[in-house]
């Protein structure tokens, strides 16, 4: 059977072909074509299209196409369910869903950067997902540090790092906060590696230490927080459309902006703006950080 999707796969469009070939259609012929040609080619080849809007095998709400394959074909293997959370986190840029999501995104992006042929990219992707499945099936509880001495030293290090008052905040932290804010304000693409290099600090060290100085958040989570702060302010104080606000806050499109906004704030941006115009928003079930942020917004709005 032929399965067809958009060219230049990274996350969902590598995970789904792996799932198809390993659990659904072992001899599947996977085709990658330009997005504008998927539907026409699917009809001509009597193929099944996936991971494009308007077809059965696609995204539904905050679920990826990989999730729909599992549901449709009743694949309830716990290892596959674990992989689904990782794929969803990487594909939607929400790395809070699974700690492995950030790594999967990094590896997938690197593969796509290095390999221009989509079929070669798929071959390498199959190896990655085979390895991920083995980990999810057999190795989730296995730690990299096996030696009792190693674990003891790591325990001491983590305890020391977590203890308040042990260390003075490094100078690079203040500089990094200023750089991030400057780039958020000018809507530039943010790269932790590039920011670290501009500070002459090892990027690996910054990545590991980041959450200690930035609200216990990873780099991606912290950037999303700042973008949502900016979006809330724009919704409060301007007449920009949602697509304009999505662009101004660095989201890839309005759909992505709406999905992340609703996840963090508890309602759609349009509903939020409408409620603010009527009066105070419904804060029931709201993340405490954003409840506090509303008070900041009231102050900021009064300055315009």
Q: Could you tell me which residue, 75 or 289, shows the higher pLDDT?
A: 75
Q: Same structural domain for residues 127 and 163? A: no
Q: Would the pTM count as exceeding 0.85?
A: no
The neighbouring-strand residues paired with 49 are 4
- DSSP element (H, E) containing 117: none
Distance from C-alpha of 241 to C-alpha of 26, rounded to nearest angstrom:
47
281 confidence band (pLDDT: 50, 70, 90): very low
Burial of 152-178, coded b for 16+ CB within 10 Å and e otherwise, reads: eeeeeeeeeeeeeeeeeebebbeebee
Distance from C-alpha of 66 to C-alpha of 53, rounded to nearest angstrom:
14
Number of domains into which the chain is organized: 3
Q: Same structural domain for residues 21 and 133? A: yes
- Specify the pLDDT at position 28: 97
Q: Same structural domain for residues 105 and 8? A: yes
Those residues with Cβ within 8 angstroms of residue 251's Cβ, 6 or more apart along the chain or in another chain:
227, 257, 260
Section 53-71 average pLDDT: 94
Say yes or no to pLDDT of 148 above 80: no
Residue with tokens 């000018």: 186
Domain stop point among 199, 214, 229: 214
229 confidence band (pLDDT: 50, 70, 90): confident
Report the percentage of the chain scoring pLDDT > 70. Answer: 81
Q: Which of 105, 142, 125, 63 is nearest to 218 (CA)?
A: 105
Say yes or no to pLDDT of 19 above 70: yes
Q: What is the DSSP letter of 95?
A: G
Q: Same structural domain for residues 25 and 45? A: yes
Q: In this structure, what CATH number is given to the domain that contains residue 240? A: 1.10.10.60
Check if the beta carbon of residue 136 is closer than 8 Å to that of residue 82.
yes
Q: Same structural domain for residues 40 and 115? A: yes
Q: Same structural domain for residues 225 and 210? A: no
C-alpha Rg value of the chain to the nearest Å = 22
Q: Which domain holds residue 201?
A: 148-214
Of 7-11, 227-231, 256-260, highest mean pLDDT: 7-11
Domain stop point among 106, 122, 139: 139
Distance from C-alpha of 45 to C-alpha of 190, rounded to nearest angstrom:
41
Sign of CA dihedral 37, 43, 45, 46: positive
Tokens of 95: 């790395």
Tokens of 251: 């989201």
Q: Same structural domain for residues 9 and 45? A: yes
Q: Same structural domain for residues 193 and 293? A: no
- Specify the pLDDT at position 143: 74
Q: Same structural domain for residues 155 and 56? A: no
Distance from C-alpha of 221 to C-alpha of 297, rounded to nearest angstrom:
20
Q: Same structural domain for residues 109 and 61? A: yes
Q: Same structural domain for residues 112 and 24? A: yes
Domain stop point among 94, 121, 139: 139
Q: Same structural domain for residues 84 and 17? A: yes
Distance from C-alpha of 223 to C-alpha of 232, rounded to nearest angstrom:
14
- Specify the pLDDT at position 67: 96
Lowest-confidence region among 18-27, 72-81, 126-135, 188-197: 188-197
């Amino acid at each position: 059977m032929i399965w067809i999707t958009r060219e230049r796969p990274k996350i969902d469009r590598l995970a789904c072909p792996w799932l198809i070939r390993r659990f659904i259609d072992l001899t599947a012929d996977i085709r990658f074509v330009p997005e504008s040609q998927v539907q026409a080619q699917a009809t001509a080849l009597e193929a099944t299209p996936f991971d494009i809007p308007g077809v059965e095998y696609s995204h539904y709400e905050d679920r990826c196409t990989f999730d729909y394959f599992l549901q449709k074909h009743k694949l309830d293997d716990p290892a596959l369910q674990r992989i689904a959370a990782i794929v969803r986190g990487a594909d939607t840029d929400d790395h809070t869903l699974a700690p492995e999501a950030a790594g999967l995104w990094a590896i997938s992006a690197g593969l796509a950067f290095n390999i221009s042929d989509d079929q070669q990219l798929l071959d390498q992707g199959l190896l990655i997902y085979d390895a991920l499945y083995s980990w999810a099936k057999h190795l989730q509880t296995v730690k990299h540090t096996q030696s009792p001495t190693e674990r003891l030293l790591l325990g001491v290090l983590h305890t020391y790092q977590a203890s308040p008052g042990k260390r003075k905040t490094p100078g690079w932290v203040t500089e990094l906060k200023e750089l991030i804010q400057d780039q958020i304000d000018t809507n530039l693409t943010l790269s932790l590696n590039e920011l670290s290099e501009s500070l002459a600090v090892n990027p690996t060290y910054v990545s590991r230490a980041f959450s200690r100085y930035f609200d216990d958040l990873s780099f991606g989570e912290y950037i999303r927080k700042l973008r949502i702060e900016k979006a809330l302010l724009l919704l409060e104080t301007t007449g920009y459309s949602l697509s304009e606000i999505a662009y101004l806050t660095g989201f890839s499109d309005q759909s992505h902006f709406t999905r992340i906004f609703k996840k963090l704030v508890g309602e759609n941006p349009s509903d939020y703006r409408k409620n603010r115009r009527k009066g105070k928003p419904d804060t029931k079930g709201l993340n405490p950080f954003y409840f506090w942020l509303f008070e900041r917004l009231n102050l900021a709005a009064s300055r315009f």
